[in-house]
Every structure is written in structure tokens, then in C-alpha cells.
Chain A
Amino acid sequence: MSPAIIDLRDIRKTYNEGTPVAVEVLHGIDIAVRAGEFACLIGPSGSGKSTLLNLIGLLEWPSGGSYRLKGRPIEQADDDERTRARLETLGFVFQFHHLLPAFSALENVMIPGLMRNGAFTPEQRRNATELLAAVGLGDALHKRPTELSGGMQQRVAIARALALAPDLVLADEPTGNLDTHTADDVFELMRRFNATKNTAFLIVTHDPRLAARCDRVIELRDGTIVGDAPRQS
């Protein structure tokens, strides 16, 4: 069995901690994702999916429990260390694409490399061009996000998430804003990268149709994992 990229044990999250209106939204979550996995996280609205994804993505701090990222405890790490870990280990795909409008599609994909190297390098350019070609946008390299359709923007976002070959891509409703046909395309794209680059994916989705096509389905309800099983063929 491949080693766990993320390993969360008894993770809790309480908002407004220490105040009379404190509310615990995650109650002792145990979850691990290994290299090459293609998992999805499902659950009704308000079940804590986005909070859990933010915790896994090191965008929020847990209130309790332990979190190991590639074997290294990270739950108490300071902001700089968590930021570095995000850059080196994780990729993000958001529901609303969240591309940077001031940059072209190519530059958006090169930004993670720019963060790591401090400059746009020819190697990054080549890598980004290949990624965009792989997502079918080889002829839209220099277009601004506003010149691209929703599906195209989401493809750019996926290419960007994969730019530094992260171990795990966290996708929050990546197809939630797309029509069925485009959603299928984007989903297939993620599957393809999972298969060809062995990148693990953890996808939050409301779409049972897409969830059914994942290798592993984790179900969250009221802040608790109520189901975690491989897909039944």
C-alpha cells in the first residue's frame, strides 16, 4: 500500500471557540488519502465538506486532532510552513475557477512556478504549454480568463493545479458550475491526470453521477464521516 499523503486523526473544528456561540462543525474526522487515489467527498449542504477540504488544504487550523502531511505533523505548523507545504504538496481547483484575471491562461498555469522560482522560466513555459495542450487549450494560451468559457476556465484551473506536479489535488465542486457535458469533460480530464501522473484527487461534489465514477466515496453528514468505501462496481 502506498504511503498516505494526508492522514487526519480525530480532527475537530469549532467555530467561535471559547464564546457562548461556539459551534463544532467537524466531530473527530479520521481520513487518509494515498498516492494515486481518486476519491470524492459527498454530503448534504452544511455537512462540513468545505470546512474539511479547507483543513486538508491547510487553509484553516483544526481545533483538535492530528494531521500528518506526507508523514509530517502539520496541525501546529505556523502560517509560513503551511504556505510552503501548500505550494509543494497540494493543488487547488475551486468551484468558480478562480483564475487571476490579470494573467493569460498560460501565465495562470505558470504562477505556481513563478512562486517557486521567482521568475517565469522557459521550462515553466514549456510545462504550462504542455499542460494546457493536454486539457485541450493549446490554441488559447494567451487568452485572458474573461475570454474563455466556464468549462475552459475550469480546464485552465486544473492545469494550474497540476503545474508543480502536486501529490494531491483538492477540488471543491469543480463541476458544480458547469453544464453536464462540460462537467463530464472536466471530470474525465481529472481522471486522466490521475491515471497518467499518479496524482491523487480529493473532489468535493454534490453530483451523485460523478461520485459514482470515483474510486472511493467518503460521505460526510453533520460533521461526521458516515461512509468511506471503494466504489462498488
Chain B
Amino acid sequence: MGFEWIVALRFLREGGLQTLLIIAGTTAGISVIVFISGFLGDLQRDLISRTLGVQPGIIVRPAEEIARPLRNEGGRALEQVQARAQRLRSVDQWQALQAELDGAKGIRAVSPVAAGPGLITRGDVNKSITLTGIIPERYVAVTRLNEKIVAGELRLNPGDVVIGTDLAKDLGVTLGDKVRLSTPTSPGDAYQVRGIYDLGQRNLNRAYAYVALPTAQALLNLPGGVSSVELAVEDLFGAEQLAAMLQARVPHEVESWMKANSQLRTALNNQTVMTLMVRFFLALVVAIGVASVLIVSVVQKTKEIGILRAMGASRGRILRVFLLQGAWIGASGAVLGSACGYLLTLVMGNVLRADDGTPLFTAQFNPSLYLYTVIGATVLGLVAAVMPARRAARLDPAQAIRV
């Protein structure tokens, strides 16, 4: 391929401004593709993180209790079956499940949770909450609640509670104040506000009151039990498949964040499809640009192609000279475009802000994205060059020299 490479690169160099312009065009197109891909991934990850708040990637709950229809003597089912009320129950054998899931493939962290309805009271103000009993060190590994603490700390001794900023405001409490926690099954007791969190959403900041797991078990009448086992997953977007695999192995209900937030998933899917279309059409424009420039180049270099053919260059060699030009334009545009795209992601990551003033997304360096971009763009350039290359290879040398 020495001959082909040398001639291809010389032809491109000889192209001068024409070559620079097509590489610039390819770079621009690919930098937008890289930017959209990186930006979308980072944005979706951050959006999910913000929207889900303290929701885990996967949640394992006791399977729903189902009322089975009675059958009469003839074996016929009774026509009307009343759906059974779902009482708060513990995940059966949750300690064994936790031990099995700890360190399992694709699972980053496991946290048992005892959660149920409760009431938080201060003076004559009552607010309904989800009373959530956790083991802090396990829970933060799943939800990173510790990063959301804005006052106090996430330390849950018996008698401690951590609540959200809005709930604290509604109750008029601050760190060290006492509140009463009660549930339908327990008159409850007084607890001291040990920490205050801010999940960035008002309804979430009013929803949860965190206590130590044994406290919640006592208040919710779940002695030694947990209402769910929450899992953090390695691949957020692979949670659905992992949940399905897990569902096949355990006799519990396994739900991914995607299933629990189907509207969010639909929105994200639509966003992905739209950006996929944008990326596809950008790639198409790049390919058409490369093909156009190479077709012009074939016309401009008709005489040179004729000379090379007359001197002993085969059709195959001429074909490869132009294919390599396409591949080189694609590869160099991809390298430059990846760099520009990453820079653009960094800049936009600093410019775009959420309502609370924090960056809307955090730009991440994704080597596989750039590797796939370079490979993809090289193949794209190669494919775009097929038509011009075939045209060049088909030139009749005798006619080409006469041009």
C-alpha cells in the first residue's frame, strides 16, 4: 500500500485549500456529532440523577399478594375477585439476598430499607411522610444522600432523624429540634433533627424522614424486616436488563428506575431518537461533502490518473488511492472533531446552569466515544469515497491523457 498511501497523501496536499475546507467541514460535522453524543450522555445521566433524587437503580420488594379466585365444585372460578390490599411486608430472607447481591456483577451497592407511611409532628403541625429506615453507610453508596446534606450530618443514632429542607421549613424546625414521628401501627416518639438534606425538588424535600433501620422497623412494625432492598447499578441505562435477569432469580418483585419512571424514560428515549437522527443526517452531510470533493478531485486529476495508469498503476491501485483519501479525510476530521467536540462539551458544561445555579451536567471524558468516532468516521470517509474511487479507476488511460 506504499504507493497508494504516498500518492493519496500527495493528492490531498496538492488539493490545498480544497483539502483544508473538506477537513474543516468534516471536523465541524464530527465535532457536533461528538458534542451531541457526549452532551446527551452527560446530560441524561445528570437529569436522571436530579429527577430520581434518592431513587435507586433497581429496587427489590416483596411480591404483591394476589387474591386467588375460589372455584366451585364444578371447577368454575367465581366471577368476581376483589383485589387484595397490599400490607407492608418484609422482603423474605433479605439478609441472604443482600449477601448474594453484594459484589454481584453489574451491582455497585446494596442497601436494605424499611420504609412506610408515617406522620411527623411538631406542635400542632402534622405532615405525612415516608418514614425511611436506613443503614447510612450502605444507603449513601446507593443514593449519595450524604452529598445532599445541607445542614448537620447523616448520622442516625437511635432517636435521630434527618429531614428535607422544605419539611424543616414547614415544621419550623432546625438542627437539634425535636419532632414526633408516628405511624399507623405505633404512637411513636420524639426524635432530634440531626441533619437536613436538599434533593433539589420541593416535593422530595417534604417526602422522606430518615431514621436508623432498627428505629423504622420498630415504628413500622417490621421487626427485623425490610420493605425493600435497593441497588445501585454500574450501568444506569442497563438497569432494565439487569432487573429482568434478577427477576428470574429471586421470588420478589424487581423494578428498575426505568419502569418506575416510564414517562422520564419515554422522554429520554425520544431525546435519544431525535439526537440519533440529527447525528445521522450530520454524518450523511459529511459523507456527501467528502464524496463531492473527491469527485471534483477525480475530474481535476484525470490527466494524472491517466499518466499513472499508463505508467503501470492498475485500476485497483487507483481505486485504493481515492479510498485512502476518503478514509484519511474521515480519520483526520474525526480526530480534530473529537477534540473540538470535547472542548465544546467542557465549555457548555460550564455555561449551562440549572435553576439552583449548579452545572446542568458534568462533562466526562469518554475514550470509547472518541475511539468509535474515529473508527466510524474513517469507515464513513471510506464509504463516501467508493463512488469517486470507482469512477477514477474506470477512467480510460488513453482518453484521460488526452484531456
Contact = CB atoms under 8 A, between A and B. Distances in A.
A165 to B, nearest CB: 14
A151 B255 CA distance: 83
A160 to B, nearest CB: 8
Contacts of B10: 100, 102-103
B3 A79 contact: no
B185 interface: no
A60 interface: yes
A111 B10 CA distance: 12
Interface in A87-137: 87-88, 92, 94, 98, 100-103, 111-112, 114-120
30 contacts: A57-B310, A59-B309, A59-B310, A59-B398, A60-B398, A80-B314, A83-B309, A83-B312, A86-B310, A86-B312, A87-B311, A88-B312, A92-B307, A92-B311, A94-B307, A94-B401, A98-B303, A100-B10, A100-B304, A100-B307, A102-B10, A102-B11, A102-B14, A114-B3, A114-B6, A115-B3, A115-B313, A117-B2, A118-B3, A119-B2
B32 to A, nearest CB: 32
A143 interface: no
A80 B14 CA distance: 28
Interface of B: 1-3, 6, 10-11, 13-14, 303-304, 306-317, 397-398, 401
A66 interface: no
Contacts of B2: 114, 117-119
A188 B1 CA distance: 38
Contacts of B316: 80
Contact of B312 (A101, A102, A112, A118): A112
A91 B73 CA distance: 104
A92 B11 CA distance: 22
A59 B10 CA distance: 25
The residue among B2, B309, B316 with the most chain A CB atoms within 10 A of its own CB is: B2
Contacts of B398: 54, 59-60
B151 to A, nearest CB: 71
Contacts of A87: 311-312
Given A57-B310, A94-B401, 20 more contacts: A54-B398, A59-B309, A59-B310, A59-B398, A80-B314, A83-B309, A86-B312, A87-B311, A92-B307, A92-B310, A94-B307, A100-B308, A101-B304, A102-B10, A102-B11, A103-B10, A111-B311, A115-B3, A119-B2, A120-B6
A120 B310 CA distance: 20
A192 interface: no
B397 to A, nearest CB: 5
Interface of A: 54, 57, 59-60, 79-80, 83-84, 86-88, 92, 94, 98, 100-103, 111-112, 114-120, 160
B222 to A, nearest CB: 77
Contacts of A92: 307, 310-311
B390 to A, nearest CB: 14
The residue among A100, A116, A118 with the most chain B CB atoms within 10 A of its own CB is: A100
Nearest to A92: B310
A115 B303 contact: no
B6 A98 contact: no
A152 to B, nearest CB: 18
Contacts of B397: 59
Contacts of A116: 312
A124 to B, nearest CB: 12
Nearest to A80: B314
B260 to A, nearest CB: 61
A84 B314 CA distance: 8
B314 A79 contact: yes
A102 B310 contact: no
A158 B54 CA distance: 81
Nearest to A99: B307
Contacts of A160: 311
Contacts of B314: 79-80, 83-84
A57 B401 CA distance: 13
Nearest to B304: A100
A101 B14 contact: yes
Nearest to B400: A59
A101 B11 CA distance: 9
B304 to A, nearest CB: 5
A77 to B, nearest CB: 13
Contacts of B304: 100-102
A160 B310 CA distance: 12
B307 A98 contact: yes
A93 to B, nearest CB: 11
Contacts of A88: 312
Contacts of A112: 311-312
A102 B13 contact: yes
A202 to B, nearest CB: 15
A111 B11 CA distance: 14
B177 to A, nearest CB: 82
Contacts of A54: 398
Contacts of B310: 57, 59, 86, 92
A103 B313 CA distance: 16
Contact of A98 (B11, B13, B401): B401
A99 B308 CA distance: 10
